[in-house]
Amino acid sequence: MKVALTIAGSDSSGGAGIQADLKTFTAFGVYGASVITALTAQNTVSVRSVADLEPGFVAAQIDAVIDDLPIAAAKTGMLSRASIIEVVAERVRERAIPNLVVDPVIVAASGDLLLAHSAVAAMREQMFPLSAVVTPNLSEAEILLGRQDIKDRKAMRRAAIDLVQIGARAALITGGALAGPDAIDILFDGHETHEFSQPRRGRRAHGAGCTLSAAIAASLARGESLVDAIRAAKTYVSRAIEQSPPFGNGSRPLNHLVSLTK
């Protein structure tokens, strides 16, 4: 059994963040370890409060895991301020953590801001060069690139290329917010672009971005190529949205058990 690590914030409603990541790792048959960067009081409607952990304690969690477990892949989620980004990047470099998927969590599905504006540059400069792939949604890609023109597939392809040019090894722009019958994501792997499409499931989802990046990391941990990992993750997320449980007053949480049930 392979081991995957998530470095992210906790979601008290269980639909996103650490909770979503660990469920996803289990669904993909990998052992999940976790490093918590922040505590959030949130549900499917909004993020009510955030308590960041001290960077030193984040580093101590990473060291404890790496000293004991053979990490085959990792993902980052909510790294809410520059000091946390810096310590995570330092540990990733020093401990040679492989197959890192960087989900640059900036805006929650509810619209709440989860990354300080002052930390956006640190995310680009410190995390991107360490990543196997970065996975921003449309809004996050616009913030990372400092523009507001990513509104169609052509612009998504250009944005993926631009993110690689500023330091990422590969960039996957997730287009779930675009109108149309299909949900389309576009990858630039440093050499060519790839497009991934699934029928739109007709509902907003809580934790879809976290789940997608965790699924990619789990597949990378199992030895799959990046393109195959993204394809498997995209299919899993689509099915998990389609069979989402009918509760919550905001965006529905995903059914992370979809691959474990008939």
* The residue type at 25: F
**Is the distance from CB of 52 to CB of 38 less than 8 angstroms?**
yes
* pLDDT confidence tier of residue 13, bands split at 50, 70 and 90: very high
Number of domains observed in the structure of the chain: 1
Per-residue pLDDT tens digits for 17-66: 999 999 999 999 999 999 999 999 999 999 999 999 999 999 999 999 99
In 3D space, the residue among 48, 45, 18, 23 whose CA is nearest the CA of residue 251 turns out to be: 45
Domain of residue 256, CATH code: 3.40.1190.20
Per-residue pLDDT tens digits for 73-85: 999 999 989 999 9
Q: How far apart are CA 77 and CA 16, in angstroms?
A: 10
Domain that holds residue 115: 3-260
Query: Which residues fall within 8 angstroms of residue 134, CB to CB, at 6 or more apart?
Result: 101, 102, 103, 104, 127, 128, 163, 168, 170, 171, 172
Q: Which two tokens stand for residue 91?
A: 């540990």
What does the mean pLDDT of the chain come to?
A: 94
Q: How far apart are CA 254 and CA 93, in angstroms?
A: 33
Which residue has 């946390």 as its token pair? 84
Q: At 33, give phi and psi (nearest 5°).
A: -115, 160
Sign of CA dihedral 82, 161, 131, 152: positive
Supply the Cα-derived Rg of the chain in whole angstroms.
16
Q: How many CA atoms lie within 13 A of 13 on its CB side?
A: 21
Query: Which residues fall within 8 angstroms of residue 5, CB to CB, at 6 or more apart?
Result: 32, 33, 34, 35, 65, 69, 71, 73, 74, 75, 97
Q: How far apart are CA 14 and CA 189, in angstroms?
A: 32
pLDDT at 90 over 80: yes
- The DSSP secondary-structure symbol of 132 reads S
**Is the distance from CB of 8 to CB of 18 less than 8 angstroms?**
yes
3-state SS assignment for residue 173: strand
* pLDDT confidence tier of residue 114, bands split at 50, 70 and 90: confident
- What pTM, to 2 d.p., does this model score? 0.96
